[in-house]
Structure 1
Amino acid sequence: MMRACILDFKKVDFVHQAMENVKVIQQWQETAQSRHKSYANVQWRGLEFSIVDWVCLKVSPMKGVMRFGKKGKFIPRHIGTYKIIRRIGQIAYELDLP
């Protein structure tokens, strides 16, 4: 008695169609990313400071931490105005902190 192997072409077609859908979705994602990048690059501006400039120091907030006697949404985001003493790197500066 001879047995025949029957291929289920519906499953093969389903896999092929799923792979095509993945390629289409990846193209859409690349298009969306490039569009977002072009919008973001228009608004971006490089900041460079000189030695005589005064800058505010950004304080990154942490939940539940009390800073400067205030808690929650009243925590200051930036503190003081400090003079730049020297430039350390492309984006790093040494400030005259008290």
Structure 2
Amino acid sequence: MGNHVFVKVAPMKGVMRFGKKCKLSQRFIGSFEILEKIGTLAYRVALPPTLAGVHNVLRISMLRKYMPNPSLVLNYEHMQLTPNMSYEERPTIQILDLQQRRHRNKVIRMVKLSG
């Protein structure tokens, strides 16, 4: 009790996580204070009012120990988390131009993006 932890979040399938895909994406937000231990595998965590839709009792598999480093903490104010700890992030990239080039037997699509 009194220690701080990160809380695991997961995006919806096929959606970028914080502008990055796959193994480079960040998977935890926080840090949040542990209020009490419930049983052997669960903890009650002090979540802010912006995460009121998320249940505050979390299994230890959803938590990660907090190491005091400010560069690891993500802003969660702009995220809309669902009760199953998932969220949807929409990329801000737009397609500006689309071209096709023909090389012998291949057609190569070229896309110009903004962002």
Name the TM-score, length of structure 2 as normaliser.
0.33
| Higher normalized strand content (fraction of residues) | 2
Q: Quick check: which has more Rg, 1 or 2?
A: 1
| Higher normalized helix content (fraction of residues) | 1
Name the TM-score, length of structure 1 as normaliser.
0.38
Q: Which has the higher contact order (CA 8 A, sep 6+)?
A: 2
